[in-house]
Copies of this chain bind each other. A is one copy, B any other.
């Protein structure tokens, strides 16, 4: 594994995992007031496009990372719509 591949893999794992603390906090507190609805709406659309891109290229790291992020951002967006 080259150092670039190692850094890219670490980057993918860390950015993908980073949404979990927000999911946990939002489920626990039910407070979504300062979270931007527009941000998560655009973010979810973008991540779905990344997933389609990965599927078109049969690129499993892109498919895996973005499948996880579709789930986490969808949970945050749903809670934002529910709690306002």
Q: Which residues of A contact B (CB under 8 A)?
A: 3-4, 7-8, 10-22, 24-26, 29, 31-36, 38-40, 42-43, 45-47, 49-50, 52-53, 56-57
Contacts and interface: CB of A to CB of B under 8 A. Distances in A.
Contact of A46 (B14, B20, B24, B29): B14
A52 B9 CA distance: 12
Contacts of A34: 25-26, 29, 31-35
Given A43-B15, A56-B3, A21 B49 contact: no
Chain A binding surface, main DSSP class: helix
A21 B33 contact: no
Contact of A50 (B11, B36, B47): B11
B53 A11 contact: yes
